[in-house]
Amino acid sequence: MSPTRPGRPAVVVVGAGRLGGALALGLGAKRWSVRVAARSAESQRRARALGLTLATEQDIERARVCLLCVPDQAVAAVAEEMKAQLPRGAALVHCAGALSLDALGTPQGRVLGSFHPLVAVSDARDSLAGNAVAVSTRSKALRETLERMAEDLGLRVLRVKEAQRGAYHAGAVLSAGGVVATLSAAVEALRVAGISEEDALAALLPLTRSALRGVEARGLAAGYTGPIARGDAGVVAAHLAALPPEVGAVYRPLSRRAVGLIHHRLTPEARAALAQALAEEP
């Protein structure tokens, strides 16, 4: 490993899953001193397979930042375990989007924080660059360290207020898992049309990517396309007539949301016709 860069404190990552592995690999590539505390034999095997260095007791005692990359329900218990092993001044940071700093318990002489990359990490070798990260801490020094970490990982920093963490995480989930769930409804619609899941995904994924490119280039409202953007209530009604009820139950609220998004592009008559077509069945 290359020599550690100045201003990059020693880091211990707890957990060698997808996110823990991606953070350890990304920071190590930028010459941070990173060790991985793998809690099970399987986790240790994954860490070694990724070329990561397992943390010794001495590594943990020297750590200045500890990143908890464990399931949400394990954060509180693992935080208490690590408090007993880390030096008193070390920062304890969880990587869970839905949890507040309270999940880490009482500080016990250390600063607390959270560092939640907004990335759908499906493999530890995935790059985190080009995405965002939500950072929360009451410590100016830790915030500077986490923001330096984000910069080296190529992540754009979002400062999240603790009181609004639930809303933040809901938005993050909708933009990732929500899109996948919507795609599953779209695949089901094509199945009704006699198209296999394999062929449906091959057709729909490029379409989804093209829609996202439009939003990236022109914003939400200007990037929205389709029959609702054209005010074509007849096509919308035909869609609902063709869809099974469980898919229609997805189509209606999303379409009503779209009408609100681009209402300024529609005539009053088109808005009224769309509202009628999208009304819940009695």
Per-residue pLDDT, 12: 98
Mean pLDDT, the chain, integer: 94
Confidence of residue 5 (pLDDT cuts 50, 70, 90): low
pLDDT digits (tens, 9 = 90+) for 260-278: 999 999 999 999 999 999 9
In tens, the pLDDT along 207-258 reads: 999 999 999 999 999 999 999 999 999 999 999 999 999 999 999 999 999 9
The average pLDDT across 3-16 equals 80
pLDDT at residue number 3:
44
Q: Where along the chain do its domains lie?
A: 11-160, 167-277
Question: 86-124 in b/e burial notation, b at 16+ Cβ within 10 A?
Answer: beeebbbbbbbbebbbebbeeeeebbbbbbbbbbebeeb
Place 39 in a pLDDT band, splitting at 50, 70 and 90: confident
Which has the closest alpha carbon to 169: 136, 202, 143?
Answer: 136
The rounded percent of the chain whose pLDDT value lies above 70 is 98
pLDDT of residue 157: 97
Residue 174 has pLDDT above 50, yes or no: yes
Give the pLDDT confidence score for residue 93 in this predicted structure.
Answer: 98
Residue 26: Cβ within 10 Å count: 23
C-beta of residue 215 within 8 angstroms of C-beta of residue 203: no
Q: What is the pLDDT of residue 53?
A: 96
User: If you average pLDDT over residues 121-139, what whole number do you get?
Assistant: 94
pLDDT of 209 reads 96
Residue 282 token pair: 């009695």
Can you tell me the mean pLDDT for 148-156?
Answer: 97
- Give the pLDDT band (50/70/90) at residue 4: very low
Amino acid at 126: D
% of the chain residues with pLDDT over 90: 91
Q: What value does the mean pLDDT take over residues 97-111? A: 91
pLDDT computed for residue 109 by the predictor: 81
Of 41, 35, 43, 40, nearest to 62 by C-alpha is 35
pTM above 0.75, yes or no: yes
Checking if the pLDDT of 107 tops 90, the result is no
Asked whether the predicted pLDDT for residue 7 surpasses 80, the reply is no
Inform me whether the pLDDT recorded for 75 exceeds 60.
Answer: yes
User: What gap in Å lies between CA 87 and CA 64, rounded to an integer?
Assistant: 8
Residue the block writes with tokens 């080296």: 152
* Structure confidence at residue 36 as a pLDDT band (50, 70, 90): very high
User: Do 79 and 68 form a contact (C-beta atoms < 8 A)?
Assistant: yes
Write down the residue that tokens 């995405």 correspond to: 131
Length of the chain counted residue by residue: 282
Please count the other Cβ atoms lying within 10 Å of the Cβ belonging to residue 76.
15
Topology of 11-160 in CATH?
A: Rossmann fold (3.40.50)
